[in-house]
């Protein structure tokens, strides 16, 4: 393998590792929101099909607003901005999942709900 090819593959590997970290952070935020839903801190999550699109949009826009607020700072805090963007992505991902029941393992025509019963798992989850 020549040097140019090796550099390309190293850059590709680094890019995939970074994207993997971002996806892990988004999934961790989705789980954090589900946990907050179960402990009563949040009244609902956007993964719940019975919540109206209007309420979900309000949550998403509130998160986008936090990104905008951070960007208004003279020197935006990169870590805070990153965390706010992860929250935007997590809300959007949860909403998208509830639109596609197959993404959460439910069969056609089956609705998903959030289960806070941890008798068989150690974290909240969506169940058919």
What is the tens place of the pLDDT at every residue in 20-30?
889 999 999 99
pLDDT of residue 98: 84
Q: How far apart are CA 32 and CA 25, in angstroms?
A: 10
- Residue 107 in any domain: the answer is no
- Residue 24 in any domain: the answer is yes
Q: How far apart are CA 58 and CA 35, in angstroms?
A: 20
What is the extent of the structural domain holding 49? 3-99
φ/ψ of 28, rounded to 5, equals -65, -35
pLDDT in tens, 80-104: 999 999 999 999 999 998 887 665 5
- Residue 120 in any domain: the answer is no
Encoding tokens for residue 26?
Answer: 């988004």
Domain count, the chain: 1
Q: How far apart are CA 113 and CA 102, in angstroms?
A: 13
pLDDT at position 66 over 90: yes
- Residue 80 in any domain: the answer is yes
Contact of 13 with 103, CB cutoff 8 Å: no
- Residue 114 in any domain: the answer is no
- Residue 74 in any domain: the answer is yes
């Amino acid at each position: 393998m020549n040097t140019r090819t090796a550099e390309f593959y190293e850059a590709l590997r680094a890019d995939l590792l970074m994207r993997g970290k971002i996806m892990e952070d988004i999934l961790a935020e989705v789980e954090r929101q589900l946990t907050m839903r179960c402990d009563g801190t949040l009244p609902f999550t956007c993964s719940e099909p019975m919540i109206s699109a209007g309420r979900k949009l309000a949550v998403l826009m509130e998160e986008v607003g936090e990104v905008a607020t951070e960007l208004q700072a003279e020197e935006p805090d990169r870590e805070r901005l990153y965390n706010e963007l992860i929250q935007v992505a997590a809300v959007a991902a949860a909403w998208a999942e509830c639109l596609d029941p197959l993404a959460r393992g439910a069969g056609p025509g089956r609705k998903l709900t959030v289960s806070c019963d941890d008798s068989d798992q150690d974290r909240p989850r969506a169940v058919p």
